[in-house]
Structure 1
Amino acid sequence: MTSKKNHPSVQQFKDFVKKHPKLIQEVRKGNKDWQEVFEDWYLLGENDMIWQQYKDEQSNETKEKDETSKADFMNQLFTAVKKMDMNTVNHHLTNVSSTISTLQGLFDQFGSKGSGQNSSTSSQHPFSFRKD
């Protein structure tokens, strides 16, 4: 199948509309039609003052709030790392490591008993046949 390629100006207009989502709302409300918007965009250009009212200001505010909250989180994280006593952290890591080693030893001990019995029984008689 052949794909229909848009004229470059149409693609630029689509990108422009994505940057100005309130234009979509105006067209859907019936206040404007796409032809009128396209002609204004083509004649006035993308940087005209008429388009400022159609920019999505909420998304910019939301982005700024997200960036601020990320910066606050990073500051809190760095502050918490600075306040940590490395000797205490090392002590806790050593305790966790020894606990894990003990658990692994227990699993190996109990696991080898169970698997040893199963493997010895299964290797002697893998199939149960009876003589007639």
Structure 2
Amino acid sequence: MSKKTLHPSVQQFKEFVKKNPKIVLEVRKGRTNWQDLFEEWYLLGEDDSRWDEFKEGNATASPTNDEGKKEWMQQVMGAVKNMDTNQLQNHISSLSQALGAIQGLILQFQGNPQSKVSRGNKANQPQHPFQFRKD
């Protein structure tokens, strides 16, 4: 089995991506795709300022995990501070009612056997109309 050889420019681009792994993260996050990145790399070259944000030495490219967590916690705390508890309670109550209604519809369409048993006197009746007993 012969291995396909890539065009030299594609091999160079792969080496460039290996040197700058933040480019892979951009593609995985869906912000761009490989085709666009390759075309930009091919037209602009490796030394263009477009690639500065992806270089390893650049500390301002993206916040570290600790900074990202702190920022997220600040956003959550800000949302909690601005929250109206009465309004939140009303939303939770209406959501609970909606879920109860949906659950009731599902049970109705399923023909839940528990709902038939809980109707009272039918639960006490035997399954068959004739009971045969041994003497």
Short-chain TM bin: 0.3 to 0.5
Q: Give the TM-score of the pair, scaled to structure 1.
A: 0.43
Structure number with greater CO (CA < 8 Å, separation at least 6) is 1
What's the TM-score, normalizing by structure 2? 0.42
Greater fraction helix:
1
Higher Cα radius of gyration: 1
